[in-house]
Chains A and B, each alone.
Chain A
Amino acid sequence: MVVRDILKQFPGVVANHDVNITIRPGTVHALIGENGAGKSTLMKILYGVQRPDGGTIEVDGKQVRFSSPTDAIKAGIGMVFQHFMLADNLTVLENVVLGAEKLHGIGDEARAEITRISDAFGFGLDPDELVEDLGVGQRQRVEILKVLYRGAQIIILDEPTAVLVPQEVDALFANLRELRASGRTILFISHKLDEVLAIADDITVMRRGETVGEADPKTATKKQLAELMVGSELPSPETGESTVTDQVLLTLDDVGLVDERGRALLKNISFEIHRGEILGIAGVEGNGQEELVETIMGMRKGTGRITLDGKDIDSWDTRERREAGVAFIPADRHRHGLLLDFPLWENRILGHQTKEPSSNGFLITRKAAKESAEQIVADYDVRTPSINTNARALSGGNQQKFIVGREMSSDPSLLIASHPTRGVDVGAQAAIWDHIKRARREGLAVLLISADLDELIGLSDTIEVILRGEIVGTFDPQTVTPQDLGAAMTGGHSTEEGGAR
């Protein structure tokens, strides 16, 4: 497969440009790059989900043009998306055979085939179980099974290991090697350099939407790869000297949470955050970070005790907590952070409805809210024609800057920041870090959740690692390496080895 000069623009973002990759048949080709480098966009183009604005794709020497995934599937391409593409209320079998019913029907033959593949790769999947009842790891396996079942020749895996435990990663890699041996071509996306070096035959690096180089995994070092990935302009998230005070702002004492089926989502979580402290939470996605945030925000009711500034806030609802000075940068800005079809100035009000300058408690104070929105746009360099533009029209990075600005401008005492720089370009990233650091100097307590380990290590004063809803280790960012953290996150190290401060 040869990809030439692919160009893809989104409003305000050039997601791909000058992308050139040559993928040799029968190899594992790794594609690496920072968050937002454009990897997923490229893969979606290869799979026919999105159409390129320019450039060509060749498969087996023939130029192809995919107008939908159907075309890509016909060309023998299969893809596992970064986010699950599963229908919860259908069984594993149904999810797998969907769209490929011609192969083995949808009955016992298909069931046997699924069981065969599942057993062959040690997936341990029950074809008749509802996907809804599966954990994340199992869901990931269903996704891979879907592709394997179709016997695709070219398999695209968009960050398949993000939610897998190491043992599963090994098993997956064994499978990939087998697949390679059987002549299939695998395109593998990750930003985990270890994994890439362990499995890839070729490596292509993307940065800010373009392919910036290739590397040979036999000779390349992690350092070289990292340099290629981040380029030279990578701003440092270093915090400088500690500003941690001895005033405790937020305390979690033995906090737990169960879902409606009685499964524990959070267990025995206890920590403190002081004024001027940034507490980082490291963990593989889906290990309880989201639930932890929602519990602190009061959107879910857990057990245990949460105190804010000495006050017990367990019985407070979300609004009371926000009024008490809790600011929140949500992980999914579209779902949780914005009203996409409302103008920016009304988005300024969201989450701050009860306070000045948004309202006087009963009436919305339009003038003050608009002024404040103007201020945020200026201070946080939000690129927008005006504050009357609908939030939907802005690019992701600018939306994120606006959210950060909004949350910071309410003089919070506690900031909960969930992936604050995800999908944001490097310049904006630096700006956001600066804002967080400045607020910290002024005594803000921050709970930082991020998948970007460099960001965590660079910004945090303390790092807690969360695994399956439990805190499994506490690290000092001054001394810890991303490798150590990665190991702890995936359960590779025992807690004791994690080393305390």
Chain B
Amino acid sequence: MAVTSIVVVVAGASVGDFWDVIFKVPSHRNLVNITNQSALIFLAALAAAIGFRMNLFNIGIEGQYTLAAYTAALVAGQAWFPGKVNILVALLVAMAVGAAWAGIAGVLKVTRGVSEVISTIMLNAIAGTVVGYLLSNHGQQYGQGRRTTPIPESSQLAGWTPWKESDGAIWTLVILAVLAGVTISFLINRTRFGFDLRATGTNEDAAVVSGVEVKKMVVISMLISGAIAGLIWMPALFGGADYYGPPFQRTLGFTGIAVALLGRNRPLGIFFGAVLFAWLSEQANPLALVADISPSIVQITQGVVVLAVVVAYEVVRRWTAAYEQRELKAALDREAVSA
């Protein structure tokens, strides 16, 4: 907070105005947007977190969801299936494409030893180019840009309007974020697979001894991570975007990575992180309008928050470790005295 304030002062703007805007109670419209955006960010962060939980740095969320969103929009636009079935098929396609693109990095890692950090960065660039190519050669003319064929009306979801219509609707598929969150949380914490994944993440050697096949785990977690990444833009696609084209929201993948780290890769932590990031982004608008402060300050705040929070985690972790040791010693000493 202090850092951000300093930056604001350096820029010659009013610190008071800045925090006023940031902490302003959001209007109904803002709340709808924050909810929708939180869902997208949450999915992105969840995708990143699955990899991080086993020390796999899937930096490629960006490319995975871009390619998946394009393909899903393309398939849904063809309307090969009626109404809701069309949605389901598109979701499956999105997951499959995201998984496949992430899987390339996974397979390269286990068979050729290519660091996933590098391969996913390269795959991001390649995904962007491939989508651009397909769009400009096979897309529909759309003003100065190109887009995929819009999805049929019967496959569009109206969403849920808690307030006035003009305040916007909460996308129906925000439910995907909830479902994915619960599923992944359950998968990681309650299942054998999740245990293997967490074990590999904290101590790969011990996991190997315990019978975990790390290579298989790497590929599977990349696939799951990619599948979730594939879902990122789906709430927006079926909630009003209707096609893949210029309004496509980029950089969610990178935001997701930051939020995953902020939330310590735990679904609940990620949830709060996603809401925080969505909130900050939503306030970027009034920031420029009301306080005349550049929206880039939001980015700085987000970065500083991530760094500050991880440093704080580390400090707390050290402190609790020391505390635990003291407690343990005290307990043992008491035992010794009473014996």
A and B touch in the complex (CB under 8 A): yes
- Residues of A that sit less than 8 Å from B by CB: 9, 11-12, 297, 299, 317-323, 328, 330, 335-342, 346, 349-354, 358-359, 361-364, 366, 383-385, 389-390, 392-394
Contact between chains at A337 and B206 (CB < 8 Å)? yes
A contact residues around B211 at 8 Å (CB) = 317-323, 351, 353-354
Contact between chains at B209 and A389 (CB < 8 Å)? no
Q: How far, in whole Å, are A439 and B84 apart by their CA atoms in the complex?
A: 61
Contact between chains at A336 and B209 (CB < 8 Å)? yes
Distance to closest chain B CB from A33 (angstroms): 23
The interface bits of chain B over 188-229 (1 if a CB of A lies within 8 angstroms of the residue's CB, else 0) are 001111111011001101101111110000000000000000
Q: How far, in whole Å, are A127 and B198 apart by their CA atoms in the complex?
A: 43
Q: How far, in whole Å, are A52 and B238 apart by their CA atoms in the complex?
A: 66
B194, B209, B213, B331: the one contacting A385 at CB < 8 Å is B331
Contact between chains at B205 and A350 (CB < 8 Å)? no
Contact between chains at B328 and A393 (CB < 8 Å)? yes
Contact between chains at B192 and A361 (CB < 8 Å)? yes
Distance to closest chain B CB from A24 (angstroms): 37
The 6 A-B residue pairs with the shortest CB-CB distance, nearest first, are: A319-B211, A351-B210, A318-B211, A11-B325, A336-B209, A359-B192
Q: Say yes or no: A364-B203 contact (C-beta < 8 A), given A390-B324, A392-B321.
A: no
Q: Which of B191, B199, B211, B327 counts the most chain A CB atoms within 10 A? A: B211
Contact between chains at A385 and B195 (CB < 8 Å)? no
A11, A351, A354: the one contacting B328 at CB < 8 Å is A11
Q: How far, in whole Å, are A352 and B205 apart by their CA atoms in the complex?
A: 15
Q: How far, in whole Å, are A336 and B212 apart by their CA atoms in the complex?
A: 12
Contact between chains at A12 and B199 (CB < 8 Å)? no
B contact residues around A383 at 8 Å (CB) = 332, 335
B206, B213, B321, B327: the one contacting A350 at CB < 8 Å is B206
Distance to closest chain B CB from A317 (angstroms): 6
- Determine the main DSSP class of B at the interface with A: helix
B192, B209, B331: the one contacting A318 at CB < 8 Å is B209
Contact between chains at A364 and B327 (CB < 8 Å)? no
- Residues of B that sit less than 8 Å from A by CB: 190-196, 198-199, 202-203, 205-206, 208-213, 321, 324-325, 327-329, 331-332, 335
Contact between chains at B213 and A297 (CB < 8 Å)? no
A contact residues around B202 at 8 Å (CB) = 339-342
Contact between chains at B209 and A349 (CB < 8 Å)? no
Q: How far, in whole Å, are A385 and B330 apart by their CA atoms in the complex?
A: 10
A contact residues around B192 at 8 Å (CB) = 353-354, 358-359, 361-364
Residue in A closest to B327 when the chains form the complex, CB atoms: A385
Distance to closest chain A CB from B326 (angstroms): 8
26 contacts between A and B (CB under 8 A): A12-B328, A297-B209, A299-B209, A317-B213, A318-B208, A318-B209, A318-B210, A318-B213, A320-B211, A322-B211, A335-B203, A335-B206, A339-B199, A346-B195, A351-B211, A353-B212, A354-B211, A362-B193, A363-B190, A363-B192, A364-B191, A364-B195, A383-B335, A385-B327, A390-B324, A394-B328
Q: Say yes or no: A389-B210 contact (C-beta < 8 A), given A341-B202, A346-B195, A362-B191.
A: no
Contact between chains at A353 and B325 (CB < 8 Å)? no
A contact residues around B328 at 8 Å (CB) = 11-12, 384-385, 389, 393-394
Q: How far, in whole Å, are A173 and B210 apart by their CA atoms in the complex?
A: 43
Q: Which of B190, B193, B195, B335 counts the most chain A CB atoms within 10 A? A: B195
Contact between chains at B332 and A12 (CB < 8 Å)? yes
Q: A322-B211, A340-B203, A385-B328 are in contact. List 14 more A-B contacts (CB 8 A).
A: A9-B329, A11-B328, A11-B329, A319-B211, A319-B213, A338-B206, A350-B210, A363-B190, A364-B191, A364-B192, A366-B190, A389-B324, A392-B321, A394-B328
Q: Which of B191, B208, B210 counts the most chain A CB atoms within 10 A? A: B210
Q: How far, in whole Å, are A340 and B193 apart by their CA atoms in the complex?
A: 19
Contact between chains at B209 and A339 (CB < 8 Å)? no
A contact residues around B196 at 8 Å (CB) = 353
Q: How far, in whole Å, are A328 and B206 apart by their CA atoms in the complex?
A: 11
Contact between chains at B209 and A328 (CB < 8 Å)? yes
A contact residues around B194 at 8 Å (CB) = 364
B205, B327, B329, B335: the one contacting A336 at CB < 8 Å is B205
Q: How far, in whole Å, are A304 and B208 apart by their CA atoms in the complex?
A: 22
